[in-house]
Amino acid sequence: MPEQPSSPVPAGSDGLRPATRAVHAGRPARTPDAPLNTPLTMAATYVGGGDVEYGRYGNPTWLAFEETLGSLEGGRALAFSSGLAAVAALLDLVAPDGVVVAPQHSYQGTLGQLGDLELRGRVRTRLVDIEDVDAVTAACEDAALLWIESPTNPALEVADIPALAAAAHAAGATVVVDNTFATPLLQQPLDLGADVVLHSATKFLAGHSDALLGAVVVRDPQLYDVVKGRRDLLGAVPGTLEAWLALRGLRTLHLRVERAQANAAELVRRLEAHPAVSRVRYPGFGAIVAIELTGGPLAADLLCRSTSLWVFATSLGGVESTLERRRRWKTEAATIPESLVRLSVGVEDVDDLWDDLVAALEAR
């Protein structure tokens, strides 16, 4: 098992720690009577002669979000209309018949896009156990792209990012890390050797289940220009309101992650002793937990429909706690147990969350 991320992430080159940068990055200049927050700029058309020219190429509200996320990840960010739009832009960079190595357990949208591209003869996909460094290294031979999720969705496997990135680079492949579950507060993949970091900003970054947004972060200026060019050409740009909401969410990311992670660790401790739970999957950090139930898929479905605080929902990363049985989706990997329930732990009182879970687990 690779070493788990530790929190907090050290201070950046500006000497500021992540919590401070989350609050202060991307703010307007401090001039008299200036707003503290970047305002919504609702503009599709701009006066010519400047850097933006047209609403598909940029927006001051997007830029504030991008500056803040880039500061946290240690690179330069680009916002997209959704996480899947960001995924599509990156996969679009793979040359025809190129090989993409990806985790066998990962976000269904990513696997769905890879499957679609492979069916149409655009790419070749090699699915791997992302925890098996030797297997991933072997799969990277002649690959164009190594796609990493860590922790994976929903199996919560942890990848050895430095080792995998080194192996992929030795084979000439670009390395993308989906950092949605860990967030930049618990893991900074660019510092671990990745070329690109991807986020479904809908989840923990925005954090309030009200904004659909994606993001990519890179350090290489040429790669930034290429990815931005794909975004501009494909029109996969974020809405101004969504970018503003995500930026507002980023301001409290450190507080939400701290509370949700503490709740998750305590729930894991209690769930491991509950007779209705046969296995608890938790990587030791973050706010996502997966449990397998002794009663099988029927018990898992009953759990999801018997809670009153926990919300039965397919998304995650919000202030509210959610849960779902992942194999209810036909596209979920067959290697994910039928009884696995993914828990996205929120910021509620942990005893209330526990009482609700116990009542649902014992609803027979």
For the annotated catalytic residues, the residue numbers are: 56, 107, 178, 203
324 SS3 class:
strand
Question: Would you mind telling me the total number of residues written for the chain in this entry?
Answer: 364
φ/ψ (deg, to 5) at 120: -90, 10
Could you tell me how far CA 125 lies from the centroid of its own chain?
21
φ/ψ (deg, to 5) at 69: -65, -40
Q: How far apart are CA 214 and CA 162, in angstroms?
A: 24
Q: How far apart are CA 38 and CA 29, in angstroms?
A: 10
Q: How far apart are CA 139 and CA 14, in angstroms?
A: 39
Q: How far apart are CA 361 and CA 299, in angstroms?
A: 8
Q: How far apart are CA 360 and CA 341, in angstroms?
A: 13
If we measure between CA atoms, which residue out of 188, 143, 134, 191 comes closest to residue 169? Answer: 143
Paired tokens of 344: 């996205």
